[in-house]
């Protein structure tokens, strides 16, 4: 209603040579669409020819104008068909999930529409076969290609409920056909791939969905989005995130002007309307077009691979249309070779033909007088340790221990603990570590489950072990008897394939389960990793971890297989980081193994020592710090890096699982890693394979997450007494690349339950536990990704993000942060996060802790985190409403948020609001104020005060559609020097 001079079309004629010109034509979509372009070209041709020939142009008079169409559409929207179509779409699109394709970069909180495209060329022969397939199934080429695209997206996302957008010309009435204007409409086509359909069945479904959509195509898309009350996230486009278009070359209007040679120049687009848009045109030479992609999300090489996978699918469906979606081959031969073979090179030459105690005995012979072990001021040389272990071994044999027998050990961290481990092994048995610090119930469960007949313990801990059908050997009471045993090595009775230990792991559900590890697994762990470390006699290790956690296996034998010294860290010292730090300095420790959680504490103490220049400052002699046990957040290493760099000591991340013998992968941490949000775990140890597979055991492409499966010589013999669970977790290896041992034990894969993906160079990125993925309001959320963003905040040392369900059953994200600063302001932290993360990933609640609770194994104990009090939201000081508008708004918020006191300066998103609730606020404002508030206003100014101001402006006659206003303003501001 305001008179504006708006230029929606712009032309430039550039002279590039005597006889050569370039015509630039720029039009806004608001006045045109693809169909309009054809009309425009036809009319220009006619006008040009007429002008040249000096005749009257033959351009037909228009029967109607665009305004007539607009009026017609408005009337239509008041009619009954509108309601009918609306209810169709409501049903079709109810609760449609967001398509979460794996992206190369974290999704920005607000879409920027930066884009690029990758060429797509489908050869004529394949195109012909695609047409044949379409005909034979009574479908169109469009439907076949669209079906293939669903299949591709399913395989990339793992989702089975997928919606793709496609444009329709929407020129329903003949009189609209000659009009230039924006008629085009968008249809959201949703299919269900839950049952892993055969391709032909998918095609039938797509045909159905498409035809139905055509039958209800008049409802304008933007209207539909409003009507459905879709939560508009600024990070995603609503309803669908991928678009597909197929153009018909015959519909392309060739530009022909008399006396001129014309050629269409390609236009370089640097925008992307959606995450992905596949544009194809059918021509004589085949299907040509491009895959347009958002460059904030995807790297070029990823999209290039994606195009290759799309072609693989097309090849497959013409040859085998009855394959299921999961069966369609995706990887090219080259990719298969790379992922399955080159990145999983198996070197079988590693020595594993030894026993743990056998290898130790060789080291005793080599360095008998070297100190093997230290604990609280006491030490033993290799020969002393060996002698005491031999005596215990002899006694255990005398009590009937035979190869593979399970012997419990429940001892505090002490020299005796290591003697006991060696003694059990020398007797031929396998040890079952039972941490005295564990609850009695767990200890009893383990003893009973393992059916240990003997328990090696100490009278000081033994009393609290529940009595059962086992015999307890109290080392302190047996000292006389032990002293009478021979000190010589025992005649070996167990070999490499016999059990060495059974460690109980909790797993996420149910009872602990015993993991059976043979001697050879431990032997090869060291030979296969030796190339990286070169552990030696002058190394000093700490036994920091409980012997019931398999990191301890690495710590003990990493020292004792090489003539090094292991310092047993008493429980109390392990828990007091400052004491532990002093121990590391004073003992001259060179190899330190840590969970990332424990090391964060260590960094803090190190920083303090250096700052205060204490006598322990700058005296670390570490060669290696090896991380394991949980995801490493690289950003936690910044301050360490500033003081020590990453090479001295060398920081290494090793991913591993009890079932695969301590470690699986190796990643040397570099400076580049520190800036990444990804937790990189590197490449498998050479005698192990890692396969990243989808739920149908297909290898996934680079960049696509899948479940990590581990094969090779570290895989264990299964679970004790749990055949079904063993069968479930240890599956046949379909790739057959692993080395077969006589007993066939190694030709299987362990399903880890961990998510990961390959980077282009074969490095694996760890992405969390499969069962820890959370969904909130339809969005799949990786808590780890939020955690690492939170941790990057300068005041935050550590963070854990969890889901918390409030009394109303609403789920919220809670950030637990450990800060160095007393004045960390959660509101400010949240404000920063909202700039970095999509709204649905920003935690609603913040709990500042002095430190994170840890489990006995040194991992974060998520169950022990406190519940946030709803009151700890980041609302500011209370200010009551000051006028009627604010009062009404406060009432709306109170209802929507189900909350009593709301101040006019409270941030909607801080007091429990989220995007879904935001749409409710908008619709209530529409009802009460009769104003169409753009949802973006609520995002940008989420206070009662701010909204009230906007309402006031709207009342004063401002436009109520900010986006249009901004767009028009932009157009008006463009340089204005061409003739009108």
Question: Which chain residues interact with ligand AMP by CB under 6 A?
Answer: 505, 627-632, 653-658, 679, 681, 752, 754, 766, 769
Q: Report the 10 Å Cβ neighbour count for 54.
A: 6
Query: Least distance from C-beta 655 to ligand AMP, angstroms?
Result: 4
Closer by beta carbon to ligand AMP, 166 or else 597? 597
Query: Least distance from C-beta 661 to ligand AMP, angstroms?
Result: 10
Q: Report the 10 Å Cβ neighbour count for 435.
A: 23
- Cβ 204 vs Cβ 193: under 8 Å: no
Cα 464 to Cα 127, 157, 443, 461, 526, distances in angstroms: 75, 51, 10, 6, 36
Closer by beta carbon to ligand AMP, 494 or else 556? 556
Closer by beta carbon to Mg ion, 594 or else 915? 594
Binders in 272-291 for Mg ion, by CB under 5 A: none
> Which of the listed partners (ligand AMP, Mg ion, none) does 766 bind, with a CB threshold of 5 to 8 Å by partner kind?
ligand AMP
Question: Of 210, 211, 193, whose CA–CA distance to 202 is shortest?
Answer: 193
Query: Least distance from C-beta 350 to ligand AMP, angstroms?
Result: 22
DSSP string, 167-195: EE----SGGGTT--S---EEEEEEEE-TT
Query: What is the spatial distance between Cα 689 and Cα 205, in angstroms, rounded to a whole number?
Result: 39
Rama region for 170: left / alpha / beta (φ>0; ψ in -120 to 50; rest): left
Helix axes 80-92, 199-215, angle to 10 degrees: 160
Query: Least distance from C-beta 912 to ligand AMP, angstroms?
Result: 32
> Which of the listed partners (Mg ion, ligand AMP, none) does 391 bind, with a CB threshold of 5 to 8 Å by partner kind?
none
Query: Least distance from C-beta 211 to ligand AMP, angstroms?
Result: 47
Query: What is the spatial distance between Cα 658 and Cα 513, in angstroms, rounded to a whole number?
Result: 11
Residue 626 structure tokens = 């090896």
Q: Which helix (H) or strand (E) holds 624?
A: strand 624-627
Query: What is the spatial distance between Cα 848 and Cα 821, in angstroms, rounded to a whole number?
Result: 10
> Which of the listed partners (Mg ion, ligand AMP, none) does 505 bind, with a CB threshold of 5 to 8 Å by partner kind?
ligand AMP
Query: Least distance from C-beta 931 to ligand AMP, angstroms?
Result: 50
- Cβ 664 vs Cβ 714: under 8 Å: yes
Q: Report the 10 Å Cβ neighbour count for 647.
A: 11
> Which of the listed partners (Mg ion, ligand AMP, none) does 186 bind, with a CB threshold of 5 to 8 Å by partner kind?
none
Q: Does 656 bind Mg ion (CB under 5 A)?
A: yes
Task: Report CA torsion sign: 822, 831, 896, 776.
Answer: negative
Closer by beta carbon to Mg ion, 656 or else 711? 656
Question: Of 817, 821, 819, whose CA–CA distance to 800 is shortest?
Answer: 817
Instruction: Select the residue whose beta carbon is closest to ligand AMP and give its number.
Output: 658
Per-residue binding letters, 112-141, with Mg ion (x by CB under 5 A)? ------------------------------
Query: Least distance from C-beta 654 to ligand AMP, angstroms?
Result: 6
Question: Of 144, 346, 180, whose CA–CA distance to 253 is shortest?
Answer: 180
Closer by beta carbon to Mg ion, 656 or else 705? 656
Q: Which helix (H) or strand (E) holds 779?
A: strand 779-781
- Cβ 116 vs Cβ 272: under 8 Å: yes
Closer by beta carbon to ligand AMP, 157 or else 857? 857
Query: Least distance from C-beta 629 to Mg ion, angstroms?
Result: 6
Residues in the chain: 980
User: Which residues have C-beta within 8 Å of that of residue 305, sequence separation ≥ 6?
Assistant: 335, 701, 702, 703
Angle at 953 between CA 949 and CA 957, to 5 degrees: 165
Closer by beta carbon to ligand AMP, 244 or else 627? 627
Query: Least distance from C-beta 656 to Mg ion, angstroms?
Result: 4
Query: What is the spatial distance between Cα 786 and Cα 643, in angstroms, rounded to a whole number?
Result: 27
Q: Does 358 bind Mg ion (CB under 5 A)?
A: no
- Cβ 146 vs Cβ 244: under 8 Å: yes
Query: What is the spatial distance between Cα 413 and Cα 431, in angstroms, rounded to a whole number?
Result: 15
Query: Least distance from C-beta 598 to Mg ion, angstroms?
Result: 14
Closer by beta carbon to Mg ion, 32 or else 752? 752
Query: Least distance from C-beta 772 to ligand AMP, angstroms?
Result: 9
Closer by beta carbon to ligand AMP, 117 or else 551? 551
Give the interface segment with Mg ion, choosing from 221-229, 501-509, 654-662, 864-872 (CB under 5 A). 654-662
Closer by beta carbon to Mg ion, 553 or else 566? 553
Give the interface segment with Mg ion, choosing from 43-51, 227-235, 648-656, 871-879 (CB under 5 A). 648-656
Query: Least distance from C-beta 578 to ligand AMP, angstroms?
Result: 26
Closer by beta carbon to ligand AMP, 660 or else 915? 660
Query: What is the spatial distance between Cα 408 and Cα 667, in angstroms, rounded to a whole number?
Result: 35
Closer by beta carbon to ligand AMP, 653 or else 819? 653
Closer by beta carbon to Mg ion, 310 or else 627? 627
- Cβ 840 vs Cβ 909: under 8 Å: no
Rama region for 545: left / alpha / beta (φ>0; ψ in -120 to 50; rest): beta
Give the interface segment with Mg ion, choosing from 449-457, 463-471, 638-646, 651-659 (CB under 5 A). 651-659
> Which of the listed partners (Mg ion, ligand AMP, none) does 235 bind, with a CB threshold of 5 to 8 Å by partner kind?
none
Residue 427 structure tokens = 């007797």
Query: What is the spatial distance between Cα 393 and Cα 407, in angstroms, rounded to a whole number?
Result: 11
Query: Least distance from C-beta 535 to ligand AMP, angstroms?
Result: 19
Strands 706-712 and 688-693 come out as antiparallel
- Cβ 635 vs Cβ 788: under 8 Å: yes
Q: What are phi and psi of 847, to 5 degrees?
A: -125, 120
Task: Report CA torsion sign: 228, 233, 237, 239.
Answer: negative
Give the interface segment with Mg ion, choosing from 239-247, 650-658, 785-793, 958-966 (CB under 5 A). 650-658
Query: Least distance from C-beta 688 to Mg ion, angstroms?
Result: 13
Helix axes 382-398, 415-427, angle to 10 degrees: 50
> Which of the listed partners (Mg ion, ligand AMP, none) does 754 bind, with a CB threshold of 5 to 8 Å by partner kind?
ligand AMP
Per-residue binding letters, 533-562, with Mg ion (x by CB under 5 A)? ------------------------------
Cα 485 to Cα 361, 416, 419, 730, distances in angstroms: 18, 16, 14, 42
Query: What is the spatial distance between Cα 59 and Cα 51, in angstroms, rounded to a whole number?
Result: 12
> Which of the listed partners (Mg ion, ligand AMP, none) does 792 bind, with a CB threshold of 5 to 8 Å by partner kind?
none
> Which of the listed partners (Mg ion, ligand AMP, none) does 711 bind, with a CB threshold of 5 to 8 Å by partner kind?
none
Query: Least distance from C-beta 658 to ligand AMP, angstroms?
Result: 3
Residue 735 structure tokens = 């790739």
User: How is residue 862 annotated by DSSP?
Assistant: G
User: How is residue 755 annotated by DSSP?
Assistant: E
Closer by beta carbon to ligand AMP, 156 or else 602? 602
Instruction: Select the residue whose beta carbon is closest to Mg ion and give its number.
Output: 656
Closer by beta carbon to Mg ion, 656 or else 701? 656
Closer by beta carbon to ligand AMP, 317 or else 591? 591
Query: Least distance from C-beta 396 to ligand AMP, angstroms?
Result: 28
> Which of the listed partners (Mg ion, ligand AMP, none) does 106 bind, with a CB threshold of 5 to 8 Å by partner kind?
none
Closer by beta carbon to ligand AMP, 553 or else 933? 553
Query: Least distance from C-beta 667 to ligand AMP, angstroms?
Result: 8
Give the binding site for Mg ion (CB under 5 A): 656
């Amino acid at each position: 209603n305001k008179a504006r001079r708006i230029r929606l079309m712009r032309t430039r004629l550039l002279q590039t040579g005597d006889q050569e010109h370039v015509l630039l034509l720029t039009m806004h979509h608001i006045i045109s669409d693809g169909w309009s372009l054809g009309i425009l070209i036809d009319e220009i041709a006619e006008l040009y020819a007429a002008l040249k020939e000096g005749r009257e142009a033959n351009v037909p008079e228009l029967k109607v104008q665009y305004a007539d169409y607009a009026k017609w559409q408005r009337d239509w929207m008041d009619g009954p068909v509108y309601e009918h179509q609306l209810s169709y779409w409501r049903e079709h699109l109810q609760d449609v999930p967001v398509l979460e394709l794996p992206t190369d970069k974290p999704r920005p909180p607000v879409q920027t529409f930066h884009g690029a495209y990758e060429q797509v060329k489908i050869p004529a022969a394949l195109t012909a076969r695609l047409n044949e397939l379409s005909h034979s199934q009574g479908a169109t080429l469009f439907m076949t290609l669209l079906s293939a695209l669903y299949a591709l997206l399913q395989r990339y996302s793992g989702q089975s409920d997928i919606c793709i957008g496609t444009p329709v010309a929407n020129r329903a009435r003949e009189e609209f056909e000659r009009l230039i204007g924006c008629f085009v409409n968008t249809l959201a086509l949703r299919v269900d791939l839950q049952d892993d359909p055969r391709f032909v069945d998918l095609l039938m479904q797509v045909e159905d969905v498409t035809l139905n959509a055509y039958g209800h195509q008049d409802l304008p898309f933007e209207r539909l989005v409003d009507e459905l009350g879709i939560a508009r996230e600024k990070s995603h486009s609503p309803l669908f995130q991928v678009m597909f278009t197929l153009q018909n070359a015959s519909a392309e209007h060739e530009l022909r002007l008399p006396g001129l040679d014309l050629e269409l120049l390609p236009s370089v687009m640097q925008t992307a309307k959606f995450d992905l848009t596949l544009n194809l045109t059918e021509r004589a030479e085949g299907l040509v077009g491009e895959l347009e992609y958002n460059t904030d999300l995807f790297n070029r090489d990823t999209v290039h691979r994606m195009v290759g996978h799309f072609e693989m699918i097309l090849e497959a469906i013409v040859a085998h249309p009855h394959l299921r979606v999961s069966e369609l081959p995706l990887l090219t031969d080259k990719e298969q070779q790379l992922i399955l073979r080159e990145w999983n090179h198996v070197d079988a030459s590693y020595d594993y033909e030894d026993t743990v105690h056998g290898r130790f005995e060789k080291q005793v012979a080599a360095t008998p007088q070297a100190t093997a072990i230290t604990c609280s001021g006491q030490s033993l040389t290799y020969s002393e340790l060996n002698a005491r272990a031999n005596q215990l071994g002899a006694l255990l044999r005398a009590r009937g221990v035979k190869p593979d027998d399970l012997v419990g050990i429940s001892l505090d961290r002490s020299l005796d603990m290591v003697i006991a481990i060696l003694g059990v092994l020398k007797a031929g048995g396998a040890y079952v570590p039972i941490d005295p610090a564990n609850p009695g119930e767990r200890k009893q469960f383990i003893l009973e489950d393992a059916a240990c007949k003997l328990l090696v313990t100490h009278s000081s801990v033994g009393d609290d072990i529940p009595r059962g059908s086992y015999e307890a050997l109290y080392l302190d009471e047996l000292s006389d008897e032990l002293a009478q045993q021979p000190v010589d090595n025992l005649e070996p009775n167990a070999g490499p394939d016999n059990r060495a230990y059974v460690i109980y792991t909790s797993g996420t559900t149910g009872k602990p389960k015993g993991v059976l590890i043979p001697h050879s697994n431990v032997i090869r762990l060291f030979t296969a990793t030796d190339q990286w470390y070169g552990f030696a006699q002058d190394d000093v290790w700490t036994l920091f971890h409980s012997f019931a956690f398999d990191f301890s296996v690495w710590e003990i034998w990493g020292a004792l297989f090489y003539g090094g010294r292991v310092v047993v860290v008493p429980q109390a010292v392990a828990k007091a980081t400052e004491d532990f730090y002093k121990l590391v300095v004073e003992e001259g420790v060179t190899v330190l193994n840590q969970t990332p959680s424990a090391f964060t504490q260590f960094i803090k103490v190190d920083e303090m020592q250096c700052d205060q220049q204490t006598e322990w400052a700058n005296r670390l002699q570490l060669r290696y710090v090896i991380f394991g046990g949980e995801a490493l957040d690289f950003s936690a290493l910044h301050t360490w890096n500033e003081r020590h760099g990453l090479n001295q000591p060398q920081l290494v991340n090793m991913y591993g699982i009890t079932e695969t013998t301590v470690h699986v992968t190796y990643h040397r941490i570099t400076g580049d890693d520190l800036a990444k949000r990804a937790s990189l775990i590197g490449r498998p140890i050479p005698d192990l394979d890692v396969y990243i597979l989808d739920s149908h055991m297909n290898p996934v492409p680079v960049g696509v997450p899948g479940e990590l499966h581990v094969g090779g010589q570290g895989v264990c013999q299964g679970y004790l007494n749990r055949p079904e669970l063993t069968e479930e977790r240890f599956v046949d290896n379909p790739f057959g690349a692993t080395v077969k041992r006589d007993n066939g034990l190694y030709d299987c894969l362990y399903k880890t339950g961990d998510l990961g993906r390959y980077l282009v160079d074969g490095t694996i990125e760890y992405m969390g536990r499969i069962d820890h993925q959370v969904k909130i309001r339809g969005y799949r959320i990786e808590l780890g990704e939020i955690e690492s963003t939170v941790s990057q905040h300068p005041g935050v040392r550590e963070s854990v993000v969890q889901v918390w369900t409030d009394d109303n059953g609403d789920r919220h994200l809670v950030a637990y942060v450990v800060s160095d600063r007393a004045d960390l302001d959660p509101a400010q932290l949240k404000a920063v996060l909202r700039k970095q993360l999509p709204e649905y990933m920003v935690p609603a609640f913040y709990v500042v802790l002095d430190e994170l609770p840890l489990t006995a194994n040194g991992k974060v104990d998520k169950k022990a985190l406190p519940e946030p009090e709803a009151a700890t939201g980041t609302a500011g000081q209370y200010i009551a409403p000051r006028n009627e508008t604010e009062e009404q708004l406060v009432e709306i918020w109170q209802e929507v948020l189900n909350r009593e006191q709301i101040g006019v300066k409270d941030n909607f998103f801080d007091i429990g609001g989220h995007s879904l609730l935001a749409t409710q606020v908008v619709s209530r404002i529409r009802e009460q104020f009769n104003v169409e508030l753009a949802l973006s206003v609520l995002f940008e100014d989420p206070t009662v005060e701010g909204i009230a101001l906007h309402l006031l402006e709207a009342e004063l006659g401002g436009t109520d559609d900010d986006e249009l206003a901004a767009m028009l303003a932009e157009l008006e501001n463009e340089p204005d020097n061409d003739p009108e």
